[in-house]
Protein backbone atom coordinates (compact mmCIF):
# COMPACT_ATOMS: atom_id res chain seq x y z
CA UNK A 1 0.00 0.00 0.00
CA UNK A 2 1.32 3.42 -0.87
CA UNK A 3 1.94 6.29 1.52
CA UNK A 4 -1.53 7.86 1.23
CA UNK A 5 -1.91 8.51 4.93
CA UNK A 6 0.66 11.29 5.05
CA UNK A 7 -1.36 13.30 2.56
CA UNK A 8 -4.70 12.80 4.29
CA UNK A 9 -6.13 15.97 5.86
CA UNK A 10 -6.10 16.24 9.63
CA UNK A 11 -9.19 14.71 11.21
CA UNK A 12 -11.75 17.46 11.75
CA UNK A 13 -13.36 15.92 14.83
CA UNK A 14 -12.28 13.70 17.73
CA UNK A 15 -14.50 10.93 16.34
CA UNK A 16 -12.65 11.11 13.02
CA UNK A 17 -9.33 10.96 14.87
CA UNK A 18 -10.40 7.81 16.69
CA UNK A 19 -11.65 6.34 13.42
CA UNK A 20 -8.24 6.92 11.87
CA UNK A 21 -6.72 4.74 14.59
CA UNK A 22 -9.39 2.09 14.00
CA UNK A 23 -8.70 2.03 10.26
CA UNK A 24 -4.94 1.94 10.84
CA UNK A 25 -5.33 -0.99 13.20
CA UNK A 26 -7.47 -2.79 10.62
CA UNK A 27 -4.55 -2.44 8.18
CA UNK A 28 -2.15 -3.82 10.81
CA UNK A 29 -4.38 -6.83 11.43
CA UNK A 30 -4.82 -7.45 7.72
CA UNK A 31 -1.08 -7.27 7.08
CA UNK A 32 -1.74 -4.39 4.68
CA UNK A 33 0.22 -1.62 6.35
CA UNK A 34 1.16 1.56 4.52
CA UNK A 35 4.57 1.53 2.84
CA UNK A 36 6.43 4.54 4.21
CA UNK A 37 9.51 6.25 2.86
CA UNK A 38 11.56 7.30 5.92
CA UNK A 39 13.27 10.15 4.06
CA UNK A 40 9.93 11.51 2.85
CA UNK A 41 8.52 11.23 6.37
CA UNK A 42 11.44 13.17 7.83
CA UNK A 43 11.12 15.83 5.13
CA UNK A 44 7.36 16.12 5.69
CA UNK A 45 7.74 16.59 9.46
CA UNK A 46 10.96 18.57 9.61
CA UNK A 47 9.44 21.98 10.27
CA UNK A 48 6.39 21.09 12.33
CA UNK A 49 4.44 18.22 13.79
CA UNK A 50 0.70 17.74 13.52
CA UNK A 51 -0.09 14.58 15.49
CA UNK A 52 -3.80 13.78 15.73
CA UNK A 53 -3.73 11.32 18.64
CA UNK A 54 -2.07 10.85 22.01
CA UNK A 55 -1.55 7.35 23.35
CA UNK A 56 -0.68 6.36 26.91
CA UNK A 57 0.69 2.84 26.68
CA UNK A 58 2.81 0.30 28.52
CA UNK A 59 6.50 0.06 27.62
CA UNK A 60 6.03 -3.63 26.67
CA UNK A 61 8.03 -4.34 23.50
CA UNK A 62 4.98 -5.89 21.85
CA UNK A 63 2.73 -2.88 22.41
CA UNK A 64 4.11 -0.29 20.02
CA UNK A 65 1.31 2.17 19.20
CA UNK A 66 2.81 3.43 15.92
CA UNK A 67 2.90 -0.14 14.59
CA UNK A 68 -0.35 -1.40 16.10
CA UNK A 69 -2.26 1.59 14.68
CA UNK A 70 -0.12 1.74 11.50
CA UNK A 71 0.80 5.40 11.82
CA UNK A 72 3.83 7.28 10.59
CA UNK A 73 6.31 9.79 11.84
CA UNK A 74 4.55 12.78 13.36
CA UNK A 75 1.12 11.12 13.68
CA UNK A 76 1.07 10.05 17.35
CA UNK A 77 2.35 11.45 20.64
CA UNK A 78 3.01 8.43 22.81
CA UNK A 79 3.67 8.38 26.54
CA UNK A 80 5.00 4.97 27.54
CA UNK A 81 5.78 3.73 31.01
CA UNK A 82 5.58 0.29 32.62
CA UNK A 83 1.94 -0.66 33.12
CA UNK A 84 0.92 2.77 31.73
CA UNK A 85 1.17 3.94 35.35
CA UNK A 86 -0.37 7.39 35.69
CA UNK A 87 1.68 10.05 37.50
CA UNK A 88 1.92 13.83 37.49
CA UNK A 89 4.58 13.71 34.78
CA UNK A 90 2.41 11.44 32.65
CA UNK A 91 -0.63 13.70 33.02
CA UNK A 92 1.53 16.75 32.26
CA UNK A 93 2.81 15.07 29.10
CA UNK A 94 -0.73 14.20 28.01
CA UNK A 95 -1.77 17.80 28.65
CA UNK A 96 1.12 18.88 26.43
CA UNK A 97 -0.16 16.61 23.66
CA UNK A 98 -3.84 17.48 23.91
CA UNK A 99 -3.85 21.07 25.17
CA UNK A 100 -0.67 22.54 23.66
CA UNK A 101 -0.20 20.51 20.48
CA UNK A 102 -3.87 19.78 19.91
CA UNK A 103 -4.31 16.02 19.57
CA UNK A 104 -8.01 15.25 19.38
CA UNK A 105 -8.10 11.79 20.87
CA UNK A 106 -6.36 10.30 23.88
CA UNK A 107 -6.19 6.51 24.07
CA UNK A 108 -5.15 4.62 27.19
CA UNK A 109 -3.81 1.37 25.75
CA UNK A 110 -3.53 -1.58 28.12
CA UNK A 111 -2.70 -5.11 27.08
CA UNK A 112 -2.87 -8.78 27.94
CA UNK A 113 -0.05 -10.61 29.75
CA UNK A 114 1.30 -7.33 31.11
CA UNK A 115 4.43 -7.88 33.20
CA UNK A 116 3.86 -4.77 35.28
CA UNK A 117 0.30 -5.82 36.12
CA UNK A 118 1.57 -9.31 36.96
CA UNK A 119 4.12 -7.81 39.37
CA UNK A 120 1.45 -5.63 40.97
CA UNK A 121 -0.71 -8.73 41.53
CA UNK A 122 2.21 -10.66 43.03
CA UNK A 123 3.14 -7.95 45.56
CA UNK A 124 5.85 -5.36 46.03
CA UNK A 125 8.93 -6.32 43.96
CA UNK A 126 11.20 -3.80 45.67
CA UNK A 127 13.35 -1.01 44.32
CA UNK A 128 11.89 1.87 42.37
CA UNK A 129 9.62 -0.67 40.68
CA UNK A 130 7.42 -0.27 43.74
CA UNK A 131 6.62 3.25 42.59
CA UNK A 132 5.12 1.72 39.44
CA UNK A 133 3.26 -1.16 41.06
CA UNK A 134 1.77 1.13 43.73
CA UNK A 135 0.02 3.00 40.92
CA UNK A 136 -1.44 -0.29 39.65
CA UNK A 137 -2.54 -1.48 43.09
CA UNK A 138 -6.00 0.19 42.96
CA UNK A 139 -6.85 -2.02 39.97
CA UNK A 140 -5.65 -5.11 41.84
CA UNK A 141 -7.72 -4.16 44.88
CA UNK A 142 -10.79 -3.52 42.72
CA UNK A 143 -10.60 -6.90 40.96
CA UNK A 144 -11.82 -9.72 43.19
CA UNK A 145 -9.80 -12.91 42.91
CA UNK A 146 -12.30 -15.67 42.07
CA UNK A 147 -12.25 -18.73 44.34
CA UNK A 148 -9.66 -21.30 43.27
CA UNK A 149 -8.12 -18.79 40.88
CA UNK A 150 -4.34 -18.42 41.05
CA UNK A 151 -3.27 -14.75 41.20
CA UNK A 152 -0.76 -15.47 38.42
CA UNK A 153 -3.52 -16.81 36.18
CA UNK A 154 -3.72 -15.02 32.81
CA UNK A 155 -7.47 -14.55 33.03
CA UNK A 156 -7.15 -12.81 36.38
CA UNK A 157 -4.14 -10.71 35.29
CA UNK A 158 -6.03 -9.58 32.19
CA UNK A 159 -9.07 -8.64 34.31
CA UNK A 160 -6.83 -6.45 36.44
CA UNK A 161 -5.31 -4.92 33.30
CA UNK A 162 -8.79 -4.02 32.00
CA UNK A 163 -9.76 -2.51 35.34
CA UNK A 164 -6.50 -0.55 35.30
CA UNK A 165 -7.49 1.03 31.97
CA UNK A 166 -10.80 2.22 33.48
CA UNK A 167 -9.12 3.56 36.60
CA UNK A 168 -6.40 5.30 34.58
CA UNK A 169 -9.02 7.14 32.53
CA UNK A 170 -10.89 8.05 35.72
CA UNK A 171 -7.71 9.36 37.32
CA UNK A 172 -6.81 11.44 34.26
CA UNK A 173 -10.32 12.96 34.24
CA UNK A 174 -10.18 13.58 37.99
CA UNK A 175 -6.69 15.09 38.17
CA UNK A 176 -6.44 17.06 34.94
CA UNK A 177 -8.69 20.10 34.78
CA UNK A 178 -7.24 20.87 31.34
CA UNK A 179 -8.09 17.50 29.81
CA UNK A 180 -11.45 17.39 31.56
CA UNK A 181 -12.33 20.79 30.13
CA UNK A 182 -11.32 19.75 26.59
CA UNK A 183 -13.47 16.63 26.89
CA UNK A 184 -16.47 18.58 28.21
CA UNK A 185 -16.18 20.99 25.27
CA UNK A 186 -16.13 18.09 22.82
CA UNK A 187 -12.62 18.96 21.66
CA UNK A 188 -11.08 15.76 22.98
CA UNK A 189 -12.18 12.14 23.06
CA UNK A 190 -10.82 9.92 25.82
CA UNK A 191 -10.92 6.22 25.04
CA UNK A 192 -9.67 2.99 26.53
CA UNK A 193 -8.29 0.16 24.45
CA UNK A 194 -7.07 -3.35 25.24
CA UNK A 195 -4.47 -5.04 23.05
CA UNK A 196 -4.32 -8.84 22.99
CA UNK A 197 -0.67 -9.81 22.47
CA UNK A 198 -1.72 -13.28 21.29
CA UNK A 199 -4.12 -12.26 18.53
CA UNK A 200 -2.64 -8.85 17.69
CA UNK A 201 -6.08 -7.31 18.12
CA UNK A 202 -7.11 -4.05 19.78
CA UNK A 203 -10.50 -3.93 21.46
CA UNK A 204 -11.72 -0.33 21.78
CA UNK A 205 -13.55 0.06 25.06
CA UNK A 206 -15.61 3.17 24.36
ZN1 LIG B 1 2.60 -4.04 30.13
What residues does each domain of the chain span?
5-204
**What's the 114 CA to ligand 1 centre distance in angstroms?**
4
Does this model's pTM top 0.85? My answer is yes
- Ligand 1: centre distance to CA 109 (Å): 9
* Per-residue model confidence (pLDDT) at position 1: 53
Ligand 1 centroid–CA 188 distance in Å is: 25
CA of 105 to the centre of ligand 1 (A): 21
How many angstroms separate the Cα of 198 from the Cα of each of 77, 119, 173, 193, 194? 25, 20, 30, 15, 12
Cα–Cα distances in Å, from 109 out to 7, 56, 152, 196? 26, 6, 21, 11
Q: Can you name the residues that pair with 54 across neighbouring β-strands?
A: 77, 106
Residue 88, CA distances (Å) to 9, 102, 127, 135 in order: 33, 19, 20, 12
Ligand 1 mean position, distance from CA 115 (Å): 5
Q: How far is it, in rounded angstroms, from Cα 10 to Cα 154?
A: 39
Distance 88 CA to ligand 1 centre (A): 19
CA of 121 to the centre of ligand 1 (A): 13
Cα(10) to centroid(ligand 1), Å: 30
**What's residue 126's pLDDT?**
86
- The reported pLDDT for the residue numbered 139 is 97
Q: Do strands 201-204 and 189-196 pair parallel, antiparallel, or not at all (unpaired)?
A: antiparallel
Looking at residue 7, what is its pLDDT?
52
Give the CATH H-level superfamily of domain 5-204: Carbonic anhydrase (3.40.1050.10)
Q: How far apart are CA 73 and CA 71, in angstroms?
A: 7
Which parts of the chain register pLDDT below 70? 1-8, 148-149, 151, 206
Please report the pLDDT score of residue 151 as a whole number. Answer: 66
Amino acid sequence: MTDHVSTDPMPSTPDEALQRLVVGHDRFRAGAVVERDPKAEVARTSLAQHPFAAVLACMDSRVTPERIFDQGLGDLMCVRVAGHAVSGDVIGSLEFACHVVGTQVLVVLGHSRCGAVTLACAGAPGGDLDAVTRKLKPAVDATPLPAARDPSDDVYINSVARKHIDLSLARIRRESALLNSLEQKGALLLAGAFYDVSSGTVEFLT
